[in-house]
Structure 1
Amino acid sequence: MMTVWTTRTTMADRRPVVSARVRIIGWMFGVLTLALGALVFLTWQVLAARADDSADDELTHEANKFRAFAASPAAASFQRPEDLLDRWLQSNLPDDSEALFTIVNGNPYHRSQGSPPARLDTDAAFVRRLAGATEPAYGWIDSTAGRVRYGVLPVRIGAQPVRAQLVVLEFRDLIAKPSMEAARALVIIAAITLVLAAGASWLVTGRVLAPIRQLRTTAERISETDLRRRIDVVGNDDVAHLARTFNTMLDRLEDAFVAQREFVDNAGHELRTPITVIRGHLELMGDDPRDRAETKALVLDELARMNRMVDDLLVLAKSDRPGFLELGEVNLTELVVEVVAKARPLAERAWRVAATADATILADGQRLTQALMQLVSNAVRHTKTDDRIEVGSYLDADGSVLLWVADSGPGVPPEDRERIFERFARGTAQRRTEGAGLGLAIVRSIARAHGGDVRLAAGPGARFELTLPAGVEAE
């Protein structure tokens, strides 16, 4: 009886050793799977929504271009709507993700140059539905190339009845392809992370449980050879030390867990932070109306911050792609004056228009305005009421252009002068300000897209100079 009792106790002691290892790995793998799955799903949804917005923006852009063309003096000579539409199709080359075709007298007439992703002008039911349009209409339709955002613009010459339409097609799946490929890459990274986490967990838990197995072996040996010996689990003995070692291991696992959850760069971390804040406050939200109102305000603020972060990330992602800039003639004096006018409502500062160059350059005026406004916002955050902020421009003798924003604030510490232009970088010696640390990175991307750069000049306060190379002056 004594032998049987000892054997059963030994078998019962052996089972939890294996199951404990499996439970540790299972819980960690499950939590990591849920966290990465939620993050990938949210990223996918955000990118999909941005793709829909991009399709709408492109559709609106094409419609506005056609309206401007139809109202131009060059279009006044056309007596038939089909002639007007033909001229528009000849002069307007669509992107790879869009297509144009015309309808005259209820039948498909002509389509834009190139091969569209899908031929919707051959869809008789679709053409018949759009042929009767007398007012602009928009909608969605499925095609062999995925979802398509379409718009139909009726065309009338003088008092003639409407008998022609321009159809604009934006292939949403092609617009979303780069974003979806990035999302799929995140899925692959998440899967690899799970595999590596599982492998690391298996190795670490094996090492962590080794002292417990040794402790069990020692206990079995003592019980079998010397029943008078005991294992003291109180105080600063080996078991207490093992517990502390186990807790240290858990700390390392937590650090590894956090590291595994991050994506390729800090973007994943920055996007998860507002999600965590929102979830935490929603979980703690009670029934008190004041508590609910405060939580709602915080959630909306975090969502707005996440939206700004996604917008900034998209700007940085597009900055290296063709078509990021829409070049046109930009008057430097008007640019500086416009930026200062837009900046005045931001804060009570001593706003100044410094020296301006009376010159017109070939550049993207909206992107340059975005860069200068980013520098102005940065200056506002680091200055006080009535501090000086000035914006200026200068055309050098060699044709290079200098745009700057200067302030009389505390300036930038020497150790931060280079790193502040990196993505997600913030000053180490300054108070933490709102934002993800992407503003100056966006300014640098815009400057480099123009072939120039941005630098922080020496001197009192902070003076950020955006340089554009020679040869950009418009004729």
Structure 2
Amino acid sequence: MADPGGTETVARRYALSVRVRILAAVLVTTTLGMLGAGSASYIIARQHAYDSVHSDLVQESEEINTVVRMIDSGQAGRPVKGPGDVLYLAIKSSVPDPGGAIIGLVDGRIAWVPDSDEPTQKSAQDDAELIAAAAAIQPGSPVEVRELRTTGHPRLAFISIPVQVDGSAHLGHFVAAVDVAEVLQPVARSHLTYALACLVALLAIGVVGYQVAGRLLSPLRSLQATAQRISETDLTDRIPDDQLAGRDEVADLGRTMNAMLDRLSSSFDHQRRLLDDAGHELRTPITIVRGHLELLDPDDPADVKETRAVSLDELDRMQRLVDDLMTLAKSQRPDFVRPEPVEVDQLLSSVRGLVGPLADRQWQIEASTAAVVALDRQRITQALVQLVANAVRFTAPRAVIALGGSVGPDGRELRLWVRDTGTGITAEDRERIFERFGRGHRSGHGSPEETVRLPEHDGAGLGLAIVAAIAEAHHGRIELDSTPGLGSTFTLCLPLDRPSTTTRSEDRARHRHR
């Protein structure tokens, strides 16, 4: 039994839109970056401030050393009888740094302090725990910075230097202290300001990112709405062009989807036409066979023989029709053509040999080239033979039918043609003959003995459609030049540099035959 909780979890996970997830990812990443940069900056600034406290205390300790040297050199300016005199000389001109205090102790009691309004100086003088800790330092102890937590100061750093004078029984201490918490307050305030600035920046990024993400994803929303509107019978909807004005991946996706819908629409239209045309064309021979069978007199041998002949003839026509329809259906597949190097002059010679026995015509190869091009030999041969068969149907015996081939003057196109001197094609027929089951007006040329052996002798109307499909499969086109009463020239125009990414539907739009 399925777990409803699991289903609910999946539904909740996918309830978040792509827009929200993108924005969340950006905000989380930005927040982590700001947090990391701010933390590193705070740690460095805090350590720098703490190092400054230590250096300042060490520097203060140098005051007492300077006084000692003055006393030893006789420059003190007053007699020195005890440690109080030494501390006086050291403290009288001292000014505590902000957050600092200087105290002179004699026998554990305050003897001298500088004249200062610094709050830390006053609070340090009243801090009995600091005084006791400083007075406890004995002569000979190493001079070092010590830390102390007292009731009035959560964190104090101090240095206490014992002072002794020969002949005096008193013990003095030169004390310099710094309230570390007060020194670190500017660092904390600056990084609090940084944190507030980061919050404002994140809010701005969120607002701007939400708008930008919505704009970037608008083609996806249009794609979703378009996909919802599309049905089997309506493939006309597309993503609006104003949603595809950008040059980013999302706009490219929208353009690609529109192109895919164009191909799907073309494919569906192709299938519908194929089914409609096939149903229409196959219905005629089926009706003929059925009618003859219904009227057949089984006791009349002649009637049986005639019905058998008609039925076989109609079945043959249906077989040819099905084969042609299969060829047209395969033309939509990417492997319909399999190019290989082909020598054009040998191709024309082989086609000339194939079509020679078809009818009594004056066969010619009026132009050729020794160029080697990439073509599907079998498909191109099929197209040329179909064009020749079409020319035979519309020419009289001994008429000229010429084949030719050449490379265009720009060297980018191969042109293969079949020219006849037949009846020509009227202007109203030039578009229709390339459509499936499209037929031109039948001429009176060509005897029944000749036409009975030719492909599509019954004029089903698929031959030129197959030729056009073969040309399009080679990313080319077919051109027609015809003058009624003088003949026609059908030309296959095949590019020598075949594009690898052009779609078949794009080829049809760009190379629509005239």
Which of 1 and 2 has greater Rg?
A: 2
User: TM-score over 0.5 for the alignment?
Assistant: no
Query: What TM-score range do you get, normalising by the shorter chain?
Result: 0.3 to 0.5
TM-score normalized by structure 2? 0.40
